[in-house]
Amino acid sequence: MQQEAIQAAKAAFKLPDPREMNALQLAYVGDTIHDLYVRSLLVSRGMKVGAMHKQAVRMVSAFAQARMLEAIEPELTEEEQDVVRRGRNAQAKHAAPKNADPADYSHSTALEALWGFLYVTGRLDRLDELIRDAIGKTEDVWHKKSSK
């Protein structure tokens, strides 16, 4: 499933040591990981493409990702919490999108940095566990947000 796709992508390139990557680089990778999981989940539900796209947009929003981070933060290791802190404090050279709350945007960057860190360090089982947990714990939140 996602693990095989992630393993194949990871094997294709030699990635830098994560300690040499800044939080925004980790988030850049983590954004794609998050998107892959969301799209895989929606395809597994047999949804029509238009409906999948609308739902994916809601699930990858800063709002939804911030809620996902809040849902799993108590379960994070000290090292993972440090990555999240780095991601939350990262200063992008651009402002948060106009439709995103700046606090949510920094939390979503933190979540993506965590996903990127786990991917780059090869902790794919932990990545899978946390993403599934984050999505499962917040599914009602992004469904409520989507009905507005």
Report, as residue numbers or ranges, the catalytic residues.
Answer: 31
Give the chain's count of helices (H) and strands (E). 7, 0
Packed helices 124-146 and 2-12: angle between N→C axes, nearest 10 degrees:
120
Pair 41, 68: CB distance under 8 Å:
no
Residue corresponding to tokens 């693990």: 3
**What whole-number distance in Å separates Cα of residue 103 and Cα of residue 63?**
9
**What whole-number distance in Å separates Cα of residue 60 and Cα of residue 58?**
6
Pair 64, 101: CB distance under 8 Å:
no
17: which DSSP letter? P
Scored b (16 or more CB within 10 A) or e, 11-22 reads eeeebeebeebe
